[in-house]
Amino acid sequence: MGDLLLRDGILADGSRVDIAIADSVISSVDPTGTAGGDTAEVVDLEGRLVLGAFGEPHAHLDKAFLADVLLNPAGDLDGAVHVMRSNWHRVPIDDVVERAERAVRKLVASGTTAIRTHADTTPEGGLKSVEALVEVRRRVAGLADMQVVTMAYPVSGPDGDVSRNQLEQGIALGTDLVGGAPHLEDDPSMAMAVALETAAAGGVAVDLHMDEVLDAGVQYLEELARLTEAAGLGGRVTASHCVSHGLLPPEEQREVGRALADAGVGLVTLPRTNLYLQARGIQTAPPRGLAGVRALLDTGVTVAAGADNVQDPFYVIGKCDALETASLLISTAHLGVDEAAELIGPGTRRVLGLPAAEVAPGSPAELVAIAAASVREAIAEQPEDRIVVHAGRVVARTTVDSWVATA
Ligand SMILES: [Zn+2]
């Protein structure tokens, strides 16, 4: 007997189907009304659009919803880092857990069932975020696949030994990846090497904040690609942000893309916060602060797109909804609808090292059903009405009766 039958969903190509699920895997996708056999639970999708579930490849859940508590009047990256660092000791660990779990539950309700979050450690801040987010990962284990990155810097310079120690402590506490921000270090090359060596020794992956600055001279992606190949870590390394890549001429963007693709380094672009934080104060033709996404796709790089921060000093607005990210990709990176959907779904799962989630037999049952007639309409309207399946089980169901004025 099957575990779950989702009746009458619409696929992206417009066909109407019934989706049967057994043991967390899609066992069949048949034209509506033709699926037979016993099923423990039947859910009528009533013509909702069904897609593979979304992913969030780059969150900072420890900071979620702090926008009204820790203020950043300048609105830039330095201001956000400053207010966080000078106040972090006042934020109790229980508060971190509560806000982060709330953000995960909102992400899941919007159709995101795979999440990678960074957990900042600093010499003065300790491992509070790591401990909190590992606890949240435990609490939401039935709702989403969650990965935690121990993000430590500086690992070069006078305080380097403290941060290098914290990377190892983070792995010991059960985090899934090593992170950092080489462009902020005294010695970026050493910082990249430390991250890769620590990850290799600890048997975990790497996700680094790379080149998050509007300075065309700051370009460490090709070196990261070389180091990744040398360490034999292809497929286990992610470069996030990569803002200055977008300042290069097109042929140089493609050259970097080829190096990343050859080395198996994935890339995460983050339009929401990088449009907000970068180019502050430039009133005439401000640059967009995004990696050269078109060149990266053209050269075969595995690209994902995420939201980064939500309602905190780094980004005071924002929803926990991957469709918001897709919408921004279409407006600001000039991607097509299907390309944007690829980056928040399949692209993200590839960067996270997870199997593809498709609406097809044999695929893991990671699904989102949305009250929309097409992928384009879903991204445009971002309707709250969604039904979400994780590991073969309905984990969220938000239904809305009407989206128009009725008076
Ligand atoms: Zn980040």
- State whether 273 and 394 are in the same domain: no
CA atoms within 13 A on the CB side of 393: 7
Q: How many whole angstroms from 180 Cα to the centroid of ligand 1?
A: 10
Q: Do the Cβ atoms of 228 and 237 come closer than 8 Å?
A: yes
Residue 381 is assigned to a structural domain of this protein: yes
Task: Examine residue 154 and say whether the peptide bond preceding it is cis (omega within 30 degrees of 0).
Answer: yes
Residue 309 lies in a domain: yes
Predicted confidence (pLDDT) per residue in 49-84, tens digit: 999 999 999 999 999 999 999 999 999 989 999 999
Mean pLDDT rounded to a whole number for the chain: 96
- The pLDDT, as a whole number, for residue 40 is 83
140 and 38 share one domain:
no
CA distance 161 to 167: 10
Q: Is residue 403 part of a domain?
A: no
Note the pLDDT of residue 401.
79
Q: How far is the CA of 193 from the centre of ligand 1 (A)?
A: 20
Gap from CA of 104 to ligand 1 centroid (Å)? 16
Least Cα distance to 106 among 42, 59, 175 occurs for 59
What is d(CA 74, CA 196) in angstroms, rounded to the nearest whole number?
34
Q: Is 405 domain-assigned?
A: no
58 Cα–ligand 1 center, Å: 6
Positions of the chain with pLDDT under 70: 1, 36
Ligand 1 centroid–CA 314 distance in Å is 9
Question: Is residue 101 classed exposed, middle or buried when 0-12, 13-18 and 19+ CB atoms within 10 A define those classes?
Answer: buried
Judge if 71 and 117 occupy the same domain: yes
**What is the count of structural domains for the chain?**
2
Model pTM above 0.75? yes
Say how many C-beta atoms besides its own lie within 10 A of residue 250's C-beta.
11
What spacing in Å lies between the alpha carbon of 135 and ligand 1's midpoint?
20
Residues 268 and 341 in one domain: yes
CA of residue 93 to ligand 1 center, whole Å: 20
Same domain, 297 and 248: yes
Show the CA angle centred on residue 64, arms to residues 62 and 66, nearest 5°: 105
Q: In whole angstroms, how large is the CA radius of gyration of the chain?
A: 21
pLDDT at 213: 95
- Print the domain residue range for 47: 2-52+357-398
State whether 286 and 170 are in the same domain: yes
Q: Which CATH number covers residue 70?
A: 3.20.20.140
Same domain, 239 and 385: no
262 CA distance to ligand 1 centroid (A)? Answer: 24
Within-domain flag for 406: no
Task: Let me know whether 9 and 67 are in one domain.
Answer: no
31 Cα: distance to centroid of ligand 1 (angstroms): 42
Ligand 1 center from residue 270 Cα (angstroms): 8
- CATH number for position 369: 2.30.40.10
Task: Write phi, then psi, for 169 (nearest 5 degrees).
Answer: -65, -40
Do 323 and 204 share a structural domain?
yes
Q: Give the model's pLDDT for residue 407.
A: 79
Q: Are residues 31 and 147 in the same domain?
A: no
Give CA–CA dist 83/337, Å, rounded. 37
CA of 130 to the centre of ligand 1 (A): 15
pLDDT at 38: 82
**In the chain, pLDDT over 70 holds for what percent of residues?**
99
Q: What is the pLDDT of residue 400?
A: 86
Ligand 1 centre from 349 Cα, in Å?
A: 18
Asked whether residue 404 is domain-assigned, the answer is no
Q: CA-to-CA distance for 352 and 250, rounded, in angstroms? A: 27
| CA 53 / ligand 1 centre spacing (Å) | 22
Q: Are residues 166 and 224 in the same domain?
A: yes
Q: Are 177 and 204 in contact (CB under 8 A)?
A: yes
Does the residue 10 lie in any domain?
A: yes
CA 273 / ligand 1 centre spacing (Å): 9
For residue 328, tell me if it sits in a domain: yes
Same domain, yes or no: 133 and 189: yes
Angle at 228 between CA 225 and CA 234, to 5 degrees: 100
Rounded distance from Cα 222 to ligand 1 centre (Å): 20
Going from the Cα of 310 to the center of ligand 1, the distance in angstroms, rounded, reads 11
Cross-strand partners of 18: 30
